[in-house]
Amino acid sequence: MIVILEGESLVNDASALVLYRTAVAAAVTGAFSFGEALVRFFLDGGVGVLVGLAVGWLLIAVARRTRDELAETVLTLAAPYAAWVLAETLHVSAVLACVAGGLYARQHLSAAVGPRSRIQSRAVWDLLVFTLNALIFILLGLQFAELIQRSGVAAFDGAVKYGVLMGVVVMVVRLVWVPVTTICAQSLRRGRAVKSTAGNWKSMFLVSWTSMRGIVSLATAFALPLTLDSGARFPYRDELIIMTMCVILVTLVVQGLSLAPIIRAFKFVPEVAHHEEEQIARQEALRRAAEALEDASREPWADPADVEWLRTELRDRQQRHKHRSHANHGSRSRLRSRMLDAERRMLLRLRNEGAISDEVLRTLESEIDLDTLRLSPSS
């Protein structure tokens, strides 16, 4: 269900913004052609995807030629901006450009950069996304009082009423749309036995209920032009922004707050497929590591003592992952966690006493943090 929701949100937002561009152009110029709009929809989407793939390919090509972690992180930040600007310059879908470029880059980035760069990039992106999300909703609050003063109480009340009504419409339309499209998709399979997450009515309802609106809706409302080509004020711009804010609040409050209770009430069967995949992946990775160790052990530079030590380490890791769910593993994890905590406290003590520098502390503490993360069940 998460894959369905995340995937459709990317494509839906991009498709909606292409239509939004056409609608705004029609409102500003006063001219609209359905045939031209249809051609522009597919042209903007197709060229936008090509632009994103080109920028993603360039990002990976450059990342393969640098070994500087900061430079690689900056590249991951600059690439979406470059894709957006290039797509906007060509008047095609900038959102689809970023989506396509991001998917391509994520598919190949792990092989192009080192482990430090990957860890650092994830931390930077997590912080950046959280900060931008927070700023958007801060902006919503700051604009609210100004919109009330500018639009007047009567106009504001009317926009709020229509906004709440639109929020209800958004929820109802999705509650109807998802089951209809699911049934149509299943009928197109012509009776083939295909297991689908959306085929279960609980899953179908949950997907239908997740029609929350947020940053993209607010950004598009604020992006409405101030004036038309004639110089006149864009009609109902403030009211549209207020309505959008109401839709966001209604869907976030009603659907967002009710989502967790609904999930608990449905009592879904726990998902175990990804745990099984994780176990298989770990076993195969360790098997390949053992083969690589045996191949390297025949090299003249390989120290037999080091080879034997690594063989023991591999056997220990294989046994640990094989019996991960057993009680002895839980005991081992707690013991290991306590050891790592003691190591960290000793390092802090050495730093505070002046025996080691802060730089040495950061280096060794990073290693301990990575070992600590490996102890978690999801690692």
Dump pLDDT digits (tens) for 200-226.
888 888 888 988 887 788 888 888 888
173: which residues sit within 8 A by CB, 6+ positions away?
211
What pLDDT is attached to residue 233?
A: 85
What pLDDT is attached to residue 360?
A: 87
**Out of 145-154, 168-177, 259-268, 343-352, least confident range:** 145-154
pLDDT at residue 27 is higher than 90: no
pLDDT at residue 95 is higher than 70: yes
What's the pLDDT band for 38 if we cut at 50, 70, 90? confident
pLDDT at residue 169 is higher than 90: yes
**Out of 47-61, 148-162, 251-265, 319-333, least confident range:** 319-333
What's the pLDDT band for 168 if we cut at 50, 70, 90? very high
pLDDT at residue 134 is higher than 60: yes
Question: For all residues of the chain together, what is the average pLDDT?
Answer: 83
| Mean pLDDT computed over 346-368 | 87
- Between the two ends of the chain, the Cα-to-Cα distance in Å is 22
What's the pLDDT band for 191 if we cut at 50, 70, 90? low
| Mean pLDDT computed over 97-103 | 90
Q: How far is CA 270 from CA 149, 200, 205, 264, in A?
A: 51, 15, 18, 11
| Mean pLDDT computed over 40-59 | 91
| Mean pLDDT computed over 219-242 | 84
What's the pLDDT band for 379 if we cut at 50, 70, 90? very low
Interior/surface letters 226-252, b for 16+ CB within 10 angstroms, e for the rest: eeeeeeeeeeebbbbbbbbbbbbbbbe
- Least Cα distance to 317 among 304, 336, 302, 296 occurs for 336
- State the virtual CA torsion across 161, 167, 225, 97 in degrees, nearest 10: 180
pLDDT at residue 172 is higher than 90: yes
* Whole-number percent of the chain with pLDDT over 70: 91
What pLDDT is attached to residue 324?
A: 59
CB-CB contact of 218 with 245 (8 Å): yes
User: 202 versus 189: which is more confidently predicted?
Assistant: 202
Residue 150 host element (H or E) = helix 115-151
pLDDT at residue 332 is higher than 70: no
| Mean pLDDT computed over 348-357 | 88
**Out of 51-65, 130-144, 201-215, least confident range:** 130-144
CB-CB contact of 10 with 106 (8 Å): no
Q: How far is CA 226 from CA 24, 158, 215, 229, in A?
A: 11, 21, 20, 10
What's the pLDDT band for 322 if we cut at 50, 70, 90? low
| Torsion sign across C-alpha atoms 277, 281, 282, 284 | positive
β-sheet bridge partners, residue 227 = 233
What pLDDT is attached to residue 136?
A: 77
User: 304 versus 192: which is more confidently predicted?
Assistant: 304
What's the pLDDT band for 194 if we cut at 50, 70, 90? very low
**Out of 42-51, 179-188, 255-264, least confident range:** 179-188
